[in-house]
Amino acid sequence: MGASKTDHFTEEQNQIAIVAKALGHPARIAIIEYLLKVNACICNDIVDELPLAQSTISQHLKELKNAGLIKGEIEGNSICYCINETTFNVLKEYFSRIIFTVTNQKCC
């Protein structure tokens, strides 16, 4: 049918999948990296930075925010979006756990 059966999986599995999915597009990775590079909040210059229309970037920003990867609010004329460290930490911890477990098993 096309829709994924989120109710059949655990809360954590769904959560990790949501965050990973949000990172599953090069434009959104580029946005994250841009936020790191400028070391500050986004102003409109991100539109000049990426090869995408303003509306498309706005959509990507929304998805990143929904997934909890960035946080921020509109600030007057401009906007303040920045990386939400907490969510990235969750990801890092999750992958660290996987790697730790894998290291201690022998297979293939």
Binding flag, residue 14, its own copies (CB under 8 A):
yes
Joined together, the tokens standing for residue 64 give: 């990143």
Residues 25, 86, 92, 95: which binds DNA (CB under 7 A)?
Answer: 25
Please check whether residue 84 is in contact with residue 68, taking contact to mean a CB–CB distance below 8 angstroms. Answer: yes
Centroid of chain to Cα 73: 17
Site membership for its own copies, residue 82 (CB under 8 A): yes
Total residues contacting DNA by CB under 7 A comes to 31
Number of residues in contact with its own copies, rule: CB under 8 A?
A: 51
Would you tell me the crossing angle of helices 54-66 and 11-22 to the nearest 10 degrees? 160
- DSSP string for residues in 26-66: HHHHHHHHHHHHHTS---THHHHHSSS-HHHHHHHHHHHHH
Q: Which does 79 bind (CB under 5 to 8 A by kind): its own copies, DNA, none?
A: DNA
Residues in contact with its own copies by CB under 8 A are: 4-6, 8-10, 13-14, 16-18, 20-30, 32-33, 36, 39-41, 50-52, 71-72, 80, 82-83, 85, 88-89, 91-92, 95-96, 98-99, 101-103, 105, 107-108
